[in-house]
Amino acid sequence: MFTRSVSLAAVLLFIPMLVPAAEAQEFGNAARGRAFAAQICSDCHQTEPGNAASPDSAAPPFTAVAKTKGMTAMALGVWLQTSHPTMPNIKLKPETMDDIISYILSLRPNRQ
Ligand code: HEC
């Protein structure tokens, strides 16, 4: 019984984290995100729309990231908050992150 109420609490805590994903197009500012991406991410990634390759061939162009099946605001948020080997740990302010996520998702082919 006790276990059950604990897991319900865990679920309720988790719900607010799901909301931004459901409202992917309503948070962040894609135009600002594009400018941030050009500053912070473009050493390695091709951040602009189009088919040009990334400066670092290991780093997928943002158009390719946007096309990845199942790529959501939440998936991108998790990626950007998790450290991974080949990408330096870039510490983004939450607003900056929202802007960049909003920009990347705006590159999805069916959103243009
Ligand atoms: C120093 C080079 C470098 C910089 C700077 C960099 N990245 Fe990356 N990024 C990579 C590499 C290399 C990969 C792919 C390798 C891997 O999976 O770790 C990657 C992978 C990613 C992926 C996952 C793509 C996928 O389809 O799985 C995302 C999303 C991403 N980067 C976003 C960003 C954003 C946003 C920024 C700027 C805030 C940024 N990166 C800055 C090198 C970089």
Q: Where are the domains of the chain?
A: 28-111
Give the whole-angstrom CA distance, residue 14 versus residue 36.
Answer: 29
CA of 109 to the centre of ligand 1 (A): 20
Ligand 1 site, residue 56, Cβ cutoff 6 A? yes
0.75 cut: is pTM over it? yes
Q: Is 44 in the pocket of ligand 1 (CB under 6 A)?
A: yes
H/E segment holding residue 109: none
Superfamily designation of domain 28-111: Cytochrome c-like domain (1.10.760.10)
Q: What is the pLDDT of residue 112?
A: 46
pLDDT band for position 6 (50/70/90)? low
CA of 14 to the centre of ligand 1 (A): 26
Q: Which of 1-5, 46-50, 88-92, 103-107 has the lowest mean pLDDT?
A: 1-5
CA angle 47, 48, 51 (to 5 degrees): 105
Query: CA-to-CA distance for 59 and 64, rounded, in angstroms?
Result: 10
Nearest CA to ligand 1 atom 32: 80
* Between 85 and 109, the higher pLDDT residue: 109
pLDDT digits (tens, 9 = 90+) for 44-54: 999 999 989 99
106: confidence class by pLDDT, cuts 50, 70, 90: very high
> Which residue has its alpha carbon closest to ligand 1 atom 37?
41
- Rounded Cα distance, 102 and 57, in Å: 24
Please report the pLDDT score of residue 16 as a whole number: 53
Integer Cα distance of 63 and 52 in angstroms: 9
CB atoms within 10 A of CB 83: 8
